[in-house]
A and B are shown apart, each in its own frame.
Chain A
Amino acid sequence: QVQLQESGPGLVKPSETLSLTCSVSGGSISNYYWSWIRQPPGKGLEWIGYVHYNGNTNYNPSLKSRVTISLDTSKNQFSLKLSSVTAADTAMYYCARSQVVPAGIPYFDYWGQGTLVTVSS
């Protein structure tokens, strides 16, 4: 059974960079796509982007200018960096394994428990 666990700071200052890591256990990070998804308090879900084990990435156009998702196969981990954060980036951040259709669009079959990130000075 694949398990994912997010880690990183729970508080980030405005204008700084949010950095999170997702550790994958119970299976290899190879041969899959790995996504980040966020959920502001009391609101719906927003896909941030994914990374493929070969290093290819795909980002939500609404966040693309601020997002970097990368992979460390040696540690079975992948990471999210979101720059120039504001209060609007306060959310629960989930990592998830993705099933990707030929057009490159994912849905999500395994999720981490999530980590709450608050943007505040």
Chain B
Amino acid sequence: DIVMTQSPDSLAVSLGERATINCKSSRSVLYSSNEKNYLAWYQQKPGQPPKLLIDWSSTRESGVPDRFTGSGSGTDFTLTISTLQAEDVAVYFCQQYYSTPPTFGQGTKLEIK
């Protein structure tokens, strides 16, 4: 199985500041034939199910604010929240869908400083 490792496990950022969450896969999730990274990001707010934010490593889902940006390629990926809002407090997960079974990172808990 591909192991997804996120860092840090938790993060406290001031309102209006930038938050950066990293995700590293144990093998490349870049499919060479189409140059796509098979990587998604989810947001899970307290008491709610995960919500898909980004797929294909950098494609925002409809309705996701543009302060959320996914980047990276191969084995190293980043989710950046450019200006943190109070409603962004959540646990964030990455997930690979390159190789079966699909696997998730352990999650990064984002809080307000």
Contact = CB atoms under 8 A, between A and B. Distances in A.
Are A and B genuine complex partners? yes
Interface stretch (B20-28, B79-87, B93-101): B93-101
A62 interface: yes
Contacts of A34: none
Size category of the binding interface on chain B: 20 to 34
A112 B104 contact: no
Interface in A69-115: 94, 96, 99, 101, 103-109, 111-114
Contact of A44 (B38, B49, B97, B107): B107
B52 interface: yes
A111 B51 contact: yes
Contacts of A60: 101
Contacts of B42: 108
Size category of the binding interface on chain A: 20 to 34
Contacts of A11: none
A2 interface: no
Contacts of B50: 45, 94, 108, 111
Contact of B105 (A44, A105, A112, A114): A44
A47 interface: yes
